[in-house]
């Protein structure tokens, strides 16, 4: 039985090009460290780093990965509420995944499909930023 929830993001339009974490990523909800509108049309969701732990860098900074979600101007609050409601919903999909923004419009068979978003105010997935692993420090 799936008990963990994951947020899924993909920022490419052709599924054939989905080949790294800069194109798509599924992150555990438990690793969210915050989310905030970073402009009138963008929301940044921060996550605990996939490749690093606190204290891995030379200056012991706390390192976060992030995903930017683009939305209709002025609708940041509604987007944050939709994401929060999906996380808090009691019902899980069979795989525990919550699709926040999937920009794919061409599938592997080269057929045209609709992009998928959690909320009608989400317009696309922006940059997915995963910090490279720091080398071990002595």
DSSP string, 51-113: S--TT-STT----EEEEEEEESTT-HHHHHHHHHHHHH-S---TT-EEEEEE---B-TTS-B-
Which residues, 6 or more positions from 107, have their beta carbon under 8 angstroms from its beta carbon?
15, 113
Q: Give the model confidence (pLDDT) of 84-138 as tens digits.
A: 999 998 765 567 899 999 999 999 999 999 999 999 999 999 999 988 776 555 4
Q: Residue 97 has which token pair?
A: 């995944």
Single out the residue of 47, 44, 8, 17 nearest to residue 130, CA to CA.
47
> Which is it for strands 97-102 and 116-117: parallel, antiparallel or unpaired?
antiparallel
Structure-token match 């509420």, residue found: 81
Q: Give the model confidence (pLDDT) of 19-49 as tens digits.
A: 887 899 999 999 999 999 999 999 999 999 8
Other Cβ atoms closer than 10 A to 86: 17
pLDDT of residue 138: 44
Asked if pLDDT for residue 9 goes beyond 80, the answer is yes
pTM for this structure?
A: 0.85
Indicate the pLDDT class of residue 1, thresholds 50, 70 and 90: very low
Asked if pLDDT for residue 8 goes beyond 60, the answer is yes
């Amino acid at each position: 039985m799936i008990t963990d929830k994951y947020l899924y993001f993909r920022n490419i339009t052709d599924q054939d090009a989905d080949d790294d974490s800069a194109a798509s990523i599924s992150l555990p909800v438990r690793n969210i460290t915050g989310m905030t509108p970073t402009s009138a049309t963008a929301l940044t969701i921060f996550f605990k780093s996939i490749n690093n732990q606190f204290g891995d860098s030379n200056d012991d900074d706390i390192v976060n990965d992030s995903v930017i979600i683009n939305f209709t101007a002025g609708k940041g609050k509604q987007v944050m509420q939709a994401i929060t409601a999906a996380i808090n919903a009691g019902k899980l999909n069979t795989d525990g995944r919550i699709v926040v923004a999937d920009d794919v419009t061409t599938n592997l068979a080269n057929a045209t499909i609709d992009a998928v978003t959690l909320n009608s105010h989400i317009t696309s997935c922006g940059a997915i930023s995963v910090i490279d692993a720091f080398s071990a420090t002595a």
